[in-house]
């Protein structure tokens, strides 16, 4: 629960001053994805260099990459989550506005 309030609070700060600015979801998603791939490749390469051959080295490297990327990419993950929250709130506000205009016309 504290993580959710911290994530939405961090997202509101950079977006608050510019009402027309889009959250940088694609940028953070690309950075997070490339970071995870780089960590996995580095761990797989390290295990192969240490002598763990072929498929077992690959699978163990991928398995090790999960917790390592969780720890290393924590800040990027939080910013990506913040951008996704801002985008979802904007979409919901737009839906609410569009629904509100339909009910005003009918009444």
Domain ranges of the chain: 2-11+23-106
| pLDDT given at position 81 | 93
- Average pLDDT for 48-73: 94
b/e code 71-100 from CB counts within 10 Å (16+ = b): eebeebbbbbbbbbbbbeeeeeeeeeeeee
Q: pTM of the entire structure?
A: 0.66
The helix or strand, by DSSP H or E, that contains position 62, with its residue range, turns out to be helix 54-72
Cα–Cα distance for residue pair 43/36, rounded to 1 Å: 11
- For 69, the token pair is 């990327």
Q: Using 50, 70 and 90 to split pLDDT, how confident is the model at 27?
A: very high
Q: Using 50, 70 and 90 to split pLDDT, how confident is the model at 100?
A: confident
- For 91, the token pair is 């979409």
pLDDT in tens, 66-92: 999 999 999 999 999 999 999 999 999
């Amino acid at each position: 629960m504290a993580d959710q309030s911290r994530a939405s609070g961090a997202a509101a700060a950079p977006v608050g001053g510019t009402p027309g600015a889009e959250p940088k979801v694609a940028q953070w998603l690309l950075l997070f994805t490339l970071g995870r791939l780089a960590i996995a490749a580095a761990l797989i390469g390290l295990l192969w260099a240490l002598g763990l051959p072929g498929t077992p080295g690959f699978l163990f490297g991928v398995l090790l990459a999960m917790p390592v990327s969780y720890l290393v990419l924590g800040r990027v993950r939080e910013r990506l989550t913040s951008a996704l929250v801002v985008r979802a709130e904007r979409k919901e506000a737009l839906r609410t506005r569009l629904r509100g205009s339909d009910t005003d016309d009918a009444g």
